[in-house]
Amino acid sequence: MDLNYTPEQEAFRAEVRQFLDDNLPDDIRERVQKRLRPDKAMTERWQKILFDQGWGASTWPKEFGGTGWDPIQQIIFEEECALAGAPRQLDFGLRMVAPVIMTFGNDAQKQRFLPGILSGEDWWCQGYSEPGAGSDLASLRTSAKLEGDHYVVNGQKTWTTLGQHADWIFCLVRTSTEGKPQQGISFLLIDMNTPGIEVRPIIMLDGEHEINEVYFDNVKVPAENLIGEENQGWTYAKFLLGHERTGLANVGQWKALMKRLKAVAREEQDGQRPLIENTRFRDRLAQLDMELRALELTVLRVLTDKRGPGPQASILKIRGTEIGQQLFEMLMEATGQDAIAHIPDALELDYNGPRSGSIDATPAAGDYFNMRKLSIFGGSNEIQRNIIAQLVLGL
């Protein structure tokens, strides 16, 4: 047992840091560090820079153009990226659909879809939830009927994050109503430019357009876009959720935010003293700092476990999202009543107008409101507790 990084791992960290120093554009860094509005072009530019370096997919094996890094290297890379102010890469392609294609897709599908994900050319979104199928995902009703060499898809998906930018959507669709609900689900890749698809925005409580409804009206999808076998989609979906949960711990980004929060606590004034000297605030900061340290080490412990993550990944999703939410809450509280002003224009890089309080106050409350999603999406934290109770504890 040794909790220190090896010299090789430290050298790797230095290499990543140097690369970020040299290649992360200043405007992107600024946008991320000031927590301004995310931007499609920014995400694509950054993915292209990583791709050109050969680092487009830190979690993929080499045979598909990934880095072939081990879990510790992946964590180091993610952490350094977050601390440097790099934007988060798009999970939907890289971490969600790609592992499914690699594991269950055929060779033609691998050749067709993986390169676009790697280069960032193709923007992917996820078609899982429906108005009537949230936590009870298996009750989904969007149907796909095979007619000759294509499926005809009808129905509606919702909570489709960044679907307004997407070229592709990976969907769970119903191909059979026989047997248990889980048994009639298939995993289908759909081109968002196909006639019959309509994307409608859902405005979130922070006033931002991040999520969407996606409607399918007699949408023709080539049968070759089916992943694996018909009616086996639930198996692939569960596999994917396991991947998603590990990523949801999000330690790198939380560490970067914690660093910022500590700085804000020094900069914000509490009367005649810096906020950090307010014991009540500082104790809560310390508590959160410790919980983040525990999360960081628990992620390392789970990811280096030779038995693989398994259902224990649910712990990481729960703790990761709870800690993330508290970070945003404390960032808001740190800026105090300066956080109350809602200035949507100030979330753009070129904004030069008036603002309330410091630059940290501008996104603070909006982020806090937005981040309530963390404990709800990706399988709500209550569903995660069900998973622990049933799959880990056998209740």
Partner 1 sequence: MNFDLTEEQQMLSDSLRRFVTNEYSFEKRGEIIQSGHGTDPATWSALAEMGLLGFTFPEDYDGLGGNAIDTLVVMENLGRGLVVEPYLATVVLAGGLIRDAGSEAQKADILPGIASGERLLALAHSEPGARYNLSHVQTTARKDGDQFLISGQKTAVLHGSQASQLIVSARTRGNVNEESGLSLFLVDRHANGVTVDDFATHDGHRTAEISFSKVAVSADNLIGTLDNAFPIIEKTVDLGIAALCAEAVGAMEAMNAATLEYIKTRKQFGVPIGKFQALQHRMADMFIHTEQARTMAILAASEADSDDRARRREAISMAKTLVGQAARYVGQEGVQLHGGMGVTDEMFAAHLFKRLTLINLLFGDADHHLAQVSDGLLAKTA
Nearer to partner 1 among residue 120 and residue 134 (C-beta): 134
Identify the residue whose tokens are 């340290």: 293
Cβ neighbours of residue 222 closer than 8 Å, sequence gap 6 or more: 149, 150, 151
- Give the residues across from 227 on adjacent strands: 187
- The yes-or-no answer on residue 244 being catalytic is yes
First to last CA, the chain: 32
CA-based max dimension of the chain? 76
Q: Among 128, 135, 378, 105, which residue's Cα sits nearest to residue 246?
A: 378
Nearer to partner 1 among residue 10 and residue 348 (C-beta): 10
Nearer to partner 1 among residue 193 and residue 279 (C-beta): 279
Binding site for partner 1 (CB under 8 A): 1-6, 9, 72, 262, 265-266, 276-277, 279, 282-283, 285-287, 289-291, 293-295, 297-298, 300-301, 304-306, 312, 315, 318-319, 382, 384-386, 388-390, 392-395
How near is the Cβ of 119 to partner 1 at its closest, in Å?
A: 31
Nearer to partner 1 among residue 3 and residue 41 (C-beta): 3
Nearer to partner 1 among residue 224 and residue 305 (C-beta): 305
Handedness of CA 152, 155, 161, 163 (dihedral sign): positive
Nearer to partner 1 among residue 14 and residue 392 (C-beta): 392
How near is the Cβ of 213 to partner 1 at its closest, in Å?
A: 30
How near is the Cβ of 339 to partner 1 at its closest, in Å?
A: 22
Whole-angstrom distance, CA of residue 380 vs CA of residue 210: 19
> What are the backbone angles phi and psi of residue 287, rounded to the nearest 5°?
-60, -45
How near is the Cβ of 171 to partner 1 at its closest, in Å?
A: 30
The number of C-alpha atoms within 13 Å of 149 and in the hemisphere containing its C-beta is 2
How near is the Cβ of 263 to partner 1 at its closest, in Å?
A: 9
How near is the Cβ of 371 to partner 1 at its closest, in Å?
A: 20
Which is catalytic among the residues 210, 244, 268, 329?
A: 244
Q: What DSSP string describes 26-92?
A: HHHHHHHHTT----HHHHHHHHHHHHHHT-S-TTS-GGGT-----HHHHHHHHHHHHHHTPPPP-HI
Radius of gyration of the chain (CA): 22
Nearer to partner 1 among residue 314 and residue 362 (C-beta): 314
Per DSSP (E only), the strands in 111-208 are 124-127, 143-147, 150-157, 168-174, 185-191, 197-203
Distance of CA 378 to the CA centre of its chain: 9
Identify the residue whose tokens are 């078609």: 127
How near is the Cβ of 362 to partner 1 at its closest, in Å?
A: 23
**What are the structure tokens assigned to 219, written together?**
């949408």
Q: Which positions are annotated as active-site residues?
A: 244
